[in-house]
């Protein structure tokens, strides 16, 4: 069940990152990868800084979205060059 939750939250974070950065074309595979990588980086970092540990908390979800935005932004820059 935890793996399914991670996949769903990762895809949601990637989708929100696509909305925030104005990505015109919705690619669910890209959203999943960007969301999972962003969740791992941003969610873990923010959760540890906030002292929440490795539990699903609002700080981790916000960190996941911010991490996904950073990862998607870098990916968009590399892709457009």
- Tokens representing 48 are 């540890």
Please state the length of the chain: 81
Distance separating alpha carbons of residues 79 and 75, to the nearest angstrom: 6
Predicted structure pTM score: 0.80
Nearest C-alpha neighbor of 21 from the set 5, 30, 29 = 30
List Cβ neighbours of 39 (8 Å cut-off, separation of 6 or more).
Answer: 6, 9, 10, 13, 63, 64, 67, 68
The predicted-structure confidence for 15-51, as pLDDT tens digits, reads as follows: 999 999 888 777 788 888 888 888 888 777 776 777 7
């Amino acid at each position: 069940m935890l793996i399914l939750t991670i996949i769903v939250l990762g895809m949601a974070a990637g989708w929100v990152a696509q909305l925030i950065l104005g990505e015109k074309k919705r690619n669910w595979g890209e959203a999943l990868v960007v969301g999972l990588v962003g969740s791992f980086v941003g969610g873990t970092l923010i959760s540890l800084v906030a002292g929440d540990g490795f539990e699903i908390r609002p700080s981790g979800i916000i960190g996941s979205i911010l991490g996904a935005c950073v990862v998607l932004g870098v990916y968009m820059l590399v892709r457009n060059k």
